[in-house]
Amino acid sequence: MPPKYIVVLGLLMSGLGKGAVTSSIIKMLDFYDLKVLPVKFDGYLNYDCGTMNPYRHGEVFVLNDKSEVDMDFGLYERFLNKDLTGNLSITGGKLFSKLVNKERKGGFLGEDVQIIPHLTNEIIENIESIYKKTNPDVLVIEVGGTIGDIENSYFIESMRQFATNRDVTFVCLTYVPALDVVGEQKTKPTQIGLRQLLQLGISPDIVICRSKASLEKKARDKIALFSNLSTDRVIDDSDDYTIYHLPVHFIDQGLDKVLLEDLGISRKINKAKLNEWNSINSKIKSPKGEVNVGIVGKYTGLKDSYASLREALIHSGAFNNVRVNIDWIESTDIEKKGQTDRLSKLNGIIVPGGFGKRGTEGMINAIAYARENKIPFLGLCLGMQMMTVEYARNVCGLDKANSSEMDPKAKHKVIDIIEWQKGIKTKGGTMRLGAYECLLAPNSNSYKAYSKKKITERHRHRYEFNNKYRKVLEKNGLVIAGINPKENLVEFIEWKDGFGVGTQAHPELKSRLESPAPLFISFVKEAINRSAGE
Ligand code: GLN
């Protein structure tokens, strides 16, 4: 089969859910048992997302292979239920650094190196090399940003060139506003956006319309007319109860048939796969119960900072047939106001990852409250580190114990910089990143959650549990529940009583709708028990 490509572009504005649309297209093709892979173009000049602020850009997603990638990769993996690799993320930073290196080596002797054709060729070569290496049935390329951005203009131009002699279907996501709920849907912004796209030499094969209410016939007809398409190629993407329903919503409108026709593929859908997906969705839609979980973090102002965590709770909630209501608690607020009223209403508490001192004392307060009141608790990375600090201070009596990240002069540095991190001076891609093995202690809650001894989870940190304090913490009842065998690094800790697990890893990064993270499944079960016992 000759290479097949789908390119997903965005009109008008960001934040419409282009990642969800791309993931849904991928999933739709996966229902047909096609081998499909995503590629993401990002125009920013950072080499990768690792040095960005989660508060601005959202979560930094980490893959098994140590790559720090855009949070859209989290979406792709959660839909596709497959581990992806960092070479699928193509950023402006990677492209420019490669191009300049090539030029310095004499790769373009005698030429003046230009955006067109050198940079655009570089993009095309990247795509072709991914195709050769992975040999998928279909590559789905998501172009980050919006038509009209300077940052992604060279990606769009390269896709125009790319499509001239290849099998490419262009999917374009637009926004159809209505002034109020009963107001008429307006297509003028889309008309202007489509004209802009046509000026760039690209005409869409499919237009997907993001809107609040269902797309009206009048609006659909008008958009079809302006994009030279039949109306079955203008697709509704109105508000739904969960993004995981989007692939099914697309299938219900026949988008699968249209896409397969464009790709020249004739296949039958794998009904068992689709049914399984539908049955999980129905648990999200009408769960049997609900639990209240508090997330005590330092970036709660931007929920996307914790995208994988939020999704992991949806997955494990659906698995346990409950809705997990999240109370986002800014940890600095707990420092100032205590907020025990709010904490007492929770069936479970999570302290997630993070960097820097701000808010950590509030996290420690919340952890102490969970431990003392036997509220099921999960500490993830920084959360596990603060769980260690809380135990050292309040149970072992190690006064002012801390992580050296928060207090470099602390007398008891129960969390300290990883030995091999000490010599590292550069910041990009130098943390302890990616998948590491861990051996779980039999009889521990962690072992019970995973039902196996040897597990692998993803990491992103520079500090670790200080083994010098292992004895005193253990003597005072802290359970060391998991160790990385190669580095002898404590990866999992637990309280003896109740359910309190801290892990240096980020199990939320591997949670998918069809295979929720085991530790989250156990945590939600414990939260259900707690709510039943109230
Ligand atoms: N700041 C901590 C460290 O670097 C925790 C990192 C995290 O939570 N991802 O070790």
Residue 339 has pLDDT above 80, yes or no: no
pLDDT at position 307: 94
For range 404-420, the mean pLDDT: 94
pLDDT band at 424 (very low <50, low <70, confident <90, very high): confident
What's the token pair of residue 57?
A: 């850009």
The Å distance, Cα 26 to ligand 1 centre, comes to 32
- Do 133 and 112 share a structural domain? yes
- Do 376 and 238 share a structural domain? no
- Do 118 and 187 share a structural domain? yes
Give the closest residue (by CA) to ligand 1 atom 8: 353
Residue-wise pLDDT for 142-192, tens only, equals: 999 999 899 899 999 999 999 999 999 999 999 999 987 668 999 999 999
Q: Which residues are catalytic?
A: 381, 506, 508
The Å distance, Cα 342 to ligand 1 centre, comes to 26
Neighbours of 116 (CB within 10 A): 11
The Å distance, Cα 50 to ligand 1 centre, comes to 13
Last residue in a domain, options 234, 252, 280: 280
- Do 236 and 96 share a structural domain? yes
Residue 54 has pLDDT above 90, yes or no: no
Q: What are phi and psi of 37, to 5 degrees?
A: -130, 145
Last residue in a domain, options 240, 261, 280: 280
Asked whether 381 lines ligand 1 (CB < 6 A), one says yes
According to DSSP, the β-strands at 68-69 and 167-175 are unpaired
* CATH code where residue 425 lies: 3.40.50.880
* CATH code where residue 140 lies: 3.40.50.300
Give the mutation target among 53, 357, 381, 491 for probing the ligand 1 site: most ligand atoms within 8 A of CB. 381
Residue 376 has pLDDT above 90, yes or no: yes
What's the token pair of residue 479?
A: 């359970």
- Do 414 and 348 share a structural domain? yes
- Do 353 and 234 share a structural domain? no
Residue 367 has pLDDT above 70, yes or no: yes
State how far the Cα of 78 lies from the Cα of 307, in Å rounded to an integer: 11
- Do 312 and 190 share a structural domain? no
The Å distance, Cα 191 to ligand 1 centre, comes to 46
pLDDT band at 534 (very low <50, low <70, confident <90, very high): low
Residue 268 has pLDDT above 90, yes or no: yes
Q: Choose between 513 and 50: higher pLDDT.
A: 513
- Do 201 and 123 share a structural domain? yes
pLDDT band at 252 (very low <50, low <70, confident <90, very high): very high
- Do 253 and 174 share a structural domain? yes
For range 226-255, the mean pLDDT: 96
Give the mutation target among 308, 405, 436, 461 for probing the ligand 1 site: most ligand atoms within 8 A of CB. 461
Prediction pTM value: 0.94
pLDDT at position 428: 87
Torsion (CA) 527, 530, 531, 532 in degrees, nearest 10: 120
Give the closest residue (by CA) to ligand 1 atom 7: 353
Last residue in a domain, options 225, 253, 280: 280
- Do 318 and 223 share a structural domain? no
Residue 74 has pLDDT above 70, yes or no: yes
Do residues 397 and 378 lie in contact, with contact meaning Cβ atoms separated by under 8 Å? Answer: no
- Do 208 and 183 share a structural domain? yes
Domain residue limits at 506 = 288-533
Number of domains into which the chain is organized:
2
Residue 57 has pLDDT above 90, yes or no: no
Q: What percent of the chain clears pLDDT 90, i.e. is strictly above it?
A: 87
Supply the mean pLDDT for the chain: 94
For range 364-386, the mean pLDDT: 96
Residue 408 has pLDDT above 80, yes or no: yes
- Tokens 């209501």 correspond to what residue? 325
- Do 121 and 80 share a structural domain? yes
Asked whether 353 lines ligand 1 (CB < 6 A), one says yes
